[in-house]
Amino acid sequence: MKQVRDSRFLKQIAIVIKELREERNVTQEDVYNETNIHIGRIETAKANVSVSTLSALCKYFKISISDFHKKVENL
C-alpha cells in the first residue's frame, strides 16, 4: 500500500511538535530517551508520522490528540 504524503500538513505537525517540545524545555534527545521516538525527522517534516507515534507523543507532551489537531488546524 502506497503512503500518501501531504507536505503542508506534515509541516504543520512539525511546527506543533517543536512548539510543544520547546514549551516544556526538553531536547530531541530527551524525547528520544523517554519515548524511544526520534523526532528530528518529524520536526523537519521529513517523516510521515504514524497515528501510533503521534498518539505516543501526545501522551508524552500531555495533550489530547484532539487538542493537538486543533493546534495544527489553527496554523
Residue boundaries of the structural domains of the chain: 7-73
CATH architecture assigned to 7-73: Orthogonal Bundle (1.10)
Model confidence, pTM: 0.89
DSSP structure string for 13-27:
HHHHHHHHHHHTT--
Confidence of residue 6 (pLDDT cuts 50, 70, 90): confident
Residue found under cell 506534515: 10
Extract the C-alpha cell encoding 8.
Answer: 503542508
- Cβ proximity of 52 and 74 under 8 Å: no
What confidence score (pLDDT) does residue 65 get? Answer: 97
Residue found under cell 524511544: 36
Q: If 0-12 CB within 10 Å is exposed, 13-18 middle and 19+ buried, where does residue 13 land?
A: buried
Higher pLDDT, 30 or 5: 30
